[in-house]
Amino acid sequence: MSQPGRPMGQTIAEKILAAKAGVTQVTPGQIVDAYPDLVMSHTATWRSVSVMKKIGAKRLYDPSRLAIVLDHISPAKTEKYAADQQTSRNFAREYGIEKFYDVDAGIAHLVLMEHGHVKPGDLIVGTDSHCTIYGALGALGSGIGYTEVASVWVTGKLWMKVPTTIKLTLEGRFVAGVSAKDLMLHLIGTLGADGCGYKSVEFYGGALPDMSVSERMTMANLAMEMGSKCVFIPPDEKTREWLLPRLSDPADYKPVIADENAVYEQSIEVNLAELTPMVACPHQVENTKPVTEVLGTRIDQAFLGSCANGKYEDLAVAAAILKGRKIDPRVRLIVTPGSKEILLEAMRSGILATLVESGALVTNPGCGACAGDGGTMADGEVSLSTANRNFVGRMGSNKSSIYLSSPATLAASALQGVIADPREFF
Amino acid sequence: MNLVEKILARKSGQRSVAPGDVVTTDIDLMVMHDLSANFVMKVFNNEMEEPGIADPSKIVFAFDHNFAPATRDAAEALAAVRKFAAKHKIQHLFDSGCGSIHHAIMEAGLVTPGMIVIGCDSHTPIYGALGAFATGVGNNSMAALGFARSKGWFKVPETIKIHFHGTPMKAVQPRDISQFLVGKLGEDGAIYKALEYAGPYIESLDVSDRALFPLQAIDVGGKCGFVNADEKTAQYVRQLQPSKSYELLQNDSDCRYSEVVDIDVSRIEPQVACPPTVGNVKPIDAAVGTPIDVAEAGGSTGGRLSDIRALAACFVNRRVHPGVRLQVVPASRGIYLAALREGLFETLHIAGANIFPPSAGSNQAFNMGALAEEEVMISTQARNFPGRNGHPKARHFLASPLTVAASALTGKITDPRTLETL
Amino acid sequence: MQDTIQGRIYKFGDNVNSDIIIAGRYLIYIDPVQLAEHAFEMLGEGFPARLRSFDILVAGRNFGCGSAREQASTAIKGLGIKAVVAASFARTFYRNAINDGLPIVECPALYDAVTEGDVIQIDLAKGVISHAGNSHAFPKMPDSVGKILKLGGLANYLKSTLTTS
């Protein structure tokens, strides 16, 4: 495949996997043993602990590479959850895991990025499919199961198959009221739930430099829903500005970018100006429609949160629409800030007060209703959510329905009591 | 007659009543939280032949245990109650996030002096602080008499008067005094009786602090508790409902009691109700030093604005102990917004506390508050029975907001009188 | 781990997701028997009971998509399912099945050929599925990965490597 004497251009995924496997170059399809820089686990940690016990392992390869954030069920509502959380705490204490964050910290992915534990060029695996979000900071993030996490704890490595890469180019500008969530819903609807299955995705284009780190996180998060193994928004000045103050050592900031002559399997272009607000309809994320096709759908509940859209900017967009207004009395609006940092900023800037005054119920930071932690629905109920999954029964009854949308669409809809077009508010 | 006897007389259309009389009265307000509303609704639907509710305007549902239902069963129950309320035109439905039931109801100005309030909640007597006769009833009575007829029957209770006098020690709060009383009288110390909380100490308290006493009437088996209505009571009601008219009933000067108990509050130390029951009240020394995992200020007794202010004052430039999770649960939406605007949440948040939606908090561990076997919680909650908050062997201590604050600072149950030295 | 697996098939469509296979509220379990009691519960009437009389699941594209929850493959194993054949698998399910010791086979050609209740025979060593007199080839797993499956999953594999080191 490569010409003799001339190394093939490498994509970001190829470069990172090669580096973590200790080789100079890799090719798609090749299986390597890679050493992740960080292995994260959340509420699932107790399961990995049980695996370690089962296999009789006592030593960790490198405790400093472990991160544990108790986010999915926070705080415990049953004895079992409480006991499992204790198992995780005890494990962290026993092994001196510094990157341990308890049930009050917020969503694992957001907490780890906020605390500077994610760097460009890192390989990160964890017990959560939305590890792809780390690509917003130029890291390779990929989800694995709890047994494999225990394996990485003990051996330090895991096998990974080098993916091919899709190049996704974004041009133009969003129309007011349209955002990264709508872009991703459009892509998932177009490419399908397995449109990027096993593949890496790299984002480029003239639209990218103007996209905030928060928007990039939304993109990298939702990319999972088209099956991506990993996704990258190549680090730029915005990444640097966001991340550098959070790193313990600025010298750790070493972005990995693709070679000029990297080989891509496919190229896709999107003109942002052509996009409209989108929703994902029950019960698949790829079941997307423009919001105009579902206007007037009655909703019982609206959830603003999750690693997809629980960030400060997302709350601020919703607050701007809700300011001085009251939500429809039939709607239960649950707002779950993604982290303590986000909640504090919301307190200070006044958007927390705005949200509560409009009628929202603001919970403690965490995964919240997205993962079924509160906000459970009864038969026949409908929820609009800014999360990333709408699979049947995820938020309660298997006779309930979930629509996914952007924060702007969510706010507009909470006001009207039905799915509404946010562009009216811009 | 005392206040309770007067109310029972008025509402049963009699000139006077005496302890032991059985009376049938009109009911002014019927309150249920999300759990009891569901049960009463089931009884009403399944066992009553009458299809209608006599006066829906007297019914209040307040969803406080489930601020964001954690299970499908909980969601179904809330959905069913909402449907029931809509069908029967029950206007007073305070949905999830309204706060702790009684605070949400008081904040909405629904209770005035002289009312008879019944509730399917053992802490309903709290409204006695507003000069009402308030007591808990069972689901069946509520459905059969309350819903169907807006009436209730009561045996006029004897009244024990507790005369509180003296000035409390520094860092000793009304909650400590109220808990002391529970310990002194015992869990069966006032069965079926009314308790009147009186004396210069009680008179010196504002209505919000007075409310802590009738709140615990149930803990000594009391039927109800009350504070003689006075200008403070009228002031409190006026602020919430400036134009509401009512008769401010008060004790007659010659009213009689079955017993008078004298309490010198200046000698009372901070108190703790130790596991396994509310009556196991001891001076703080008995529990000092116990390591804790969770500290909670919330619910009816620890989520008021005054509590959150006191809590925040302890955490200015200080941090919650690393081994402790401090949970703050405002008792109503109004309190939540006020605490937010006053910067109290920011102070507590920076200190490491976790702020929760207005609700009953960890009460019965619906949305939060489940403990593992070896965990220990200290809170301002109302009950600490085994299994109520997760594992039956988990330990739950009940105390005042300042004791909770002090303990959250040190990681162990701590005497709040030592706060300045911490 | 046997090299040949035979049995009656149950057929699913495309995009059978993680939440359908096992809902989030059951992730408090890791035991296959407990999980199996709630497998595919979200589909409603008759599930999971009706799956217990089948041996092999045959599915369309992107089987197991969604969450990285390992309990999805554990729940399927707990039902007594011996293998899953799909047109394609979501990568997290694929990995977790290997780690769980649940044989998975990627064979798009089989999907249209079978109906519920058909008997098929999977030869893992040869990379061939036999059905109604026809043979459908499928790509064999690379050894580096297949060896985990052969030992009955990652935990077993690790135990063996730890004892030898």
Question: Residue C164: its pLDDT value, please?
Answer: 66
Q: Closest approach of chain A CAs to the CA of C133, in angstroms? A: 32
pLDDT band at C1 (very low <50, low <70, confident <90, very high): low
Chain A residues within 8 A of C15 when measuring between CB atoms: 193-194, 284, 286
- Residue matched to tokens 């134009």: B243
List CB contacts (< 8 A) between A385 and chain B: none
Find chain A residues with C-beta within 8 A of C66's C-beta.
129, 389, 391
User: What φ, ψ does residue B237 adopt, rounded to 5°?
Assistant: -70, -40
Q: Would you state the pLDDT for residue C161?
A: 87
Domains of chain B: residue spans and CATH: 3-240+254-263 (3.30.499.10), 271-421 (3.30.499.10)
Instruction: Give C5-23 pLDDT, tens digit per residue.
Output: 999 999 999 999 999 999 9
pLDDT tens digits for range A211-236: 999 999 999 999 999 999 999 999 99
Q: What is the mean pLDDT of residues A105-120?
A: 98
Q: How many CB pairs under 8 A join A and B?
A: 122
Crossing angle of helices A146-155/A45-55, nearest 10°?
A: 60
Task: Please tell me which residue of chain B has the smallest CA distance to A89.
Answer: B323
Model pLDDT, residue C64:
96
Buried b (16+ CB within 10 A) or exposed e, A292-327: eebeebebbbbbbbbbbbbbbbbbbbbbebbeeeeb
Is A330 in the B-facing interface, judged by CB distances under 8 Å? no
Q: What is the mean pLDDT of residues A403-416?
A: 98
Which chain B residue's Cα is nearest to A394?
B72
Amino acid A86: pLDDT: 97
CA distance B389 to B385: 8
Q: Chain A window 373-402: which residues touch B at a Cβ cutoff of 8 Å?
A: 373-381, 396-397
Q: Does A83 touch chain B (CB under 8 A)?
A: yes
Is the pLDDT higher at B52 or at A400?
Answer: A400
Task: Give B96's contacts in chain A (Cβ within 8 Å).
Answer: 332, 361
Average the pLDDT over A174-199 and give the result. Answer: 97
Inspect the interface and report whether the beta carbons of A57 and C20 lie closer than 8 Å. Answer: no
Q: State the pTM of this model.
A: 0.95
pLDDT number for residue B420: 87
The reply to whether residue A77 touches residue B365, judged by beta carbons under 8 angstroms, is: yes
pLDDT at B344: 98
Is the pLDDT reported for residue C2 higher than 80? no
Question: Which chains does C contact via 3+ CB–CB distances below 8 A?
Answer: A
Alpha-carbon distance of B412 to B399, in angstroms, equals 13
Q: Give the pLDDT score at B422.
A: 80
Q: Which of B335, B384, B376, B381 lies closest to B355 in space, CA to CA?
A: B335
- Rounded CA-CA distance B176/B265 in Å is 10
- Asked if residue A399 has pLDDT above 90, the reply is yes
With an 8 Å Cβ cutoff, is A29 touching chain C? Answer: no
Residue A176, pLDDT > 60, answer: yes
Q: CATH top-level class for C4-164?
A: alpha beta
What mean pLDDT is reported for chain A? 96
How confident is the prediction along chain B (422 residues), in pLDDT tens digits per residue? Answer: 999 999 999 999 999 999 999 999 999 999 999 999 999 999 999 888 777 899 999 999 999 999 999 999 999 999 999 999 999 999 999 999 999 999 999 999 999 999 999 999 999 999 999 999 999 999 888 988 899 999 999 999 999 999 999 999 999 999 999 999 999 999 999 999 999 999 999 999 999 999 999 999 999 999 999 999 999 999 999 999 998 889 899 999 999 999 999 999 999 999 999 999 999 999 999 999 999 999 999 987 889 999 999 999 999 999 999 999 999 999 999 999 999 999 999 999 999 999 999 999 999 999 999 999 999 999 999 999 999 999 999 999 999 999 999 999 999 999 999 998 88
Which domains are assigned to chain A? 12-161 (3.30.499.10), 165-251+263-273 (3.40.1060.10), 277-425 (3.30.499.10)
| Residue C27 with chain A: CB contacts under 8 Å | 44
Q: What is the pLDDT of residue A369?
A: 96
Put simply, whether B63 touches A (Cβ < 8 Å) is no
- Give the closest-approach CA distance of C69 to chain A in angstroms: 6
Q: Where are the alpha helices (DSSP H) in C12-122?
A: 18-21, 32-36, 71-78, 91-100, 108-113
Report ipTM (2 d.p.): 0.94
**For residue A4, what pLDDT is reported?**
56
The yes-or-no verdict on residue C115 having pLDDT over 80 is: yes
Residue B70 and residue A102: Cβ atoms within 8 Å?
Answer: no
CA dihedral angle for residue C119, residue C123, residue C127, residue C128, rounded to 10 degrees: -40
Q: Please give the residue of chain B at the shortest CA–CA distance from A400.
A: B72
Are C162 and A127 a contacting pair at CB < 8 A?
A: no
pLDDT digits (tens, 9 = 90+) for A280-314: 999 999 999 999 999 999 999 999 999 999 999 99
**What is residue C165's predicted lDDT score, i.e. its pLDDT?**
55
Mean pLDDT (whole number) for A117-138: 98
A216 close to C (CB below 8 A): no
The C-alpha of C95 sits at a distance from chain A's nearest C-alpha, in angstroms, of 7
Backbone angles phi, psi at C67, to 5 degrees: -65, 160
First to last CA, chain A: 51
- Cβ distance A104 to B352 less than 8 Å, yes or no, reads yes
Q: Which long-range contacts (CB under 8 A, 24 or more apart) does B14-21 make?
A: B17/B156, B18/B156, B19/B156, B19/B157, B19/B158, B19/B159, B19/B258, B20/B155, B20/B156, B20/B158, B21/B155, B21/B156
CB contact under 8 A, C24 and A147: no
Q: Which of A104, A341, A395, A398 to mutate to test the interface with B (most CBs of B within 10 A)?
A: A104
What letter represents residue A303's amino acid?
Answer: F
